[in-house]
Amino acid sequence: MSARFPGRKLSVLRLTVLAVVVGVAGYSMLFGWNRYEDARAAESTGAFFAGYVDVTATPTYAFEDPAVQTGGSVMLSFIVADAERPCVPSWGTYYTLDQAESALDLDRRVARLVQDGGEVTVSFGGLLNDELGTACTDPDALQDAYAAVVDRYRLSTVDLDIEGENLKDVEAGERRAEAMAALQAERAGTDRPLNVWLTLPVAPTGLTADGTAAVAQFLAAGVDLAGVNVMTMDYGGSRTEGMSMLTASQNAAEATHRQLQVLYQRAGQDIGPQAAWRKIGITPMIGQNDVKGEVFTLDDAVAFNAFALERGAGRMSMWSLNRDATCSQNYADTTVVSDSCSGIDQQGLAFAPILGADFEGRAATLSDEPLVEETPEALVEDDPETSPYPIWSDVGTYRTEDRVVWHGNVYVAKYWTQGDVPDNPVLQAEETPWTLLGPVLPNERPVPVVTAPAGLYPEWDPETVYGRGDRILVDGRVYEAKWWSQRDSPEAAEQGSDASPWMKLDDAALVKLLGTEPEEG
């Protein structure tokens, strides 16, 4: 080399400087590549909004109604262990899956939302009851219980809301994680893989020790977590004096973001900061929180949405869609949490469109492409042999709560009607006597007609004086007097009149009265 470059030699100092320059250049290239990969990983997934719906709360929230849909995605809650059978899933311990369909029309309402291009996800757990992994100690039965819910509602995304005693139970956490890993493995490579979100309580300083342990359990079990959703609410003493709910919630999200990167690193799965934000979900409790003095305002919602979008959070939720309204004047103490209103004056606005603004992805696909099952354009031919309810007829007479099937959908009468086509297009809902419940479900069969036997109660007589509680029989249906009555025909009650002194017993009451289930028709 000295022959080609006379008079110039590489000193030790020059070699050192050269090595440093090359090293810095290499590090910069590697750092730049890692940032590129991180950004690409974040961009490959979408961000979605799905408000929680308390399925068993009253009044029932009509999540399937297009007038109340907020982006098309809802998070139905909560599936927990049945109070008597620990490995049987139930809605809040109140309804088994079959009972929820019978009493709440839940399957049909889910099908209707999906039919309209919406998306249904389901949350397991919550604070008040035993999550399935806590109560069911048989691993195979536990996996079957989760699968029963996933299969019944054709889910692509589930949410595990683990808090309270459920979160402290380490063995339950291991069972839960292993069951989810097994379900994901079964569905990998199919047209409906399973996305799993873990929802956990949080403080302004981040996840609790129990929370980070739960995430570590899922990663160790091999669960491919779609993300960790933190409940930015009910901080209590963890929120320092003077700290606003907005600041506390932003701090909680930032802290969880840092924790999540560490947890993935310890599990041998390094993820960049942008990809980590895509695995963060945030769920405020709108209005009055469970802790007095904690109020999440509409202004907080605007700022929190902007914060989440700027950071690139993968999910925004809220508790709950049931509560997204101003309380009525009859609700005396708004500092006490209601499950049907927010506790603040919302000034005619709703939290859902504010928090969900610009969250345009899908929970199922984590992309911008909607997962919509195609429906044929041709009208469905209704089959009386398999239809769960009578096929609508233009000469039929229908009364309040009567159900019919028409063009593959189930409708319920709002009041007495004859000749009104159930799917006749109208501008306003009040223009039709019919309410669409949803599509006829696969494998449905005719619902047995419940009638009372002749002689169970006297037939109605216009000359008889009836007192409160007296019962009569009309065409196999039982009516009960609400107050003193004479010459008041039960027909008004059939037509839904509140002024009628008669109340018709529904099928459930009649079955209970007769003491036997009706036979299948």
Number of helical H runs and strand E runs in the chain: 14, 22
> Could you tell me which CATH number the domain at 48-355 has?
3.20.20.80
Domains 48-355 and 448-521 are alike in CATH topology = no
Q: What is the pTM of this model?
A: 0.79
Q: So what's the pLDDT on residue 369?
A: 40
Q: So what's the pLDDT on residue 24?
A: 43
Q: So what's the pLDDT on residue 253?
A: 97
Q: How confident is the model at residue 497 (pLDDT cuts 50, 70, 90)?
A: low
> Do 316 and 303 touch, CB atoms closer than 8 A?
no
Q: So what's the pLDDT on residue 69?
A: 64
CA 251 to chain centre: 26
Q: So what's the pLDDT on residue 2?
A: 34
Percent of the chain at pLDDT > 70 equals 85
**How do residues 368-407 score in pLDDT, each as one tens digit?**
343 334 444 567 789 988 899 999 999 888 888 889 999 9
Q: So what's the pLDDT on residue 146?
A: 98
pLDDT at 282 over 60: yes
Give 515's Cβ-side CA count (13 Å radius): 2
Q: Which two tokens stand for residue 16?
A: 């050192």
**356/316 Cα distance (integer angstroms):** 7
Q: So what's the pLDDT on residue 395?
A: 84
∠ CA 306-308-312, rounded to 5°? 120
160 vs 3, residue with greater confidence: 160
> Do 91 and 56 touch, CB atoms closer than 8 A?
yes
> Do 120 and 114 touch, CB atoms closer than 8 A?
yes
Domain segments of the chain as ranges? 48-355, 376-447, 448-521
Active site members: 163
Question: To the nearest whole number, what is the mean pLDDT of the chain?
Answer: 87
Window from 62-76, 232-246, 357-371, 390-404 with minimum mean pLDDT: 357-371
Options 2.10.10.20, 3.40.50.1950, 3.30.565.10, 2.40.50.100; CATH of 376-447:
2.10.10.20
| Reported CATH class of domain 448-521 | mainly beta
518 vs 51, residue with greater confidence: 51
> Do 97 and 89 touch, CB atoms closer than 8 A?
yes
**How do residues 252-277 score in pLDDT, each as one tens digit?**
999 999 999 999 999 999 999 999 99
**How do residues 472-484 score in pLDDT, each as one tens digit?**
998 888 999 999 9
pLDDT at 129 over 90: yes
Q: So what's the pLDDT on residue 375?
A: 42
Phi, psi (rounded to 5 degrees) for 77: -145, 155
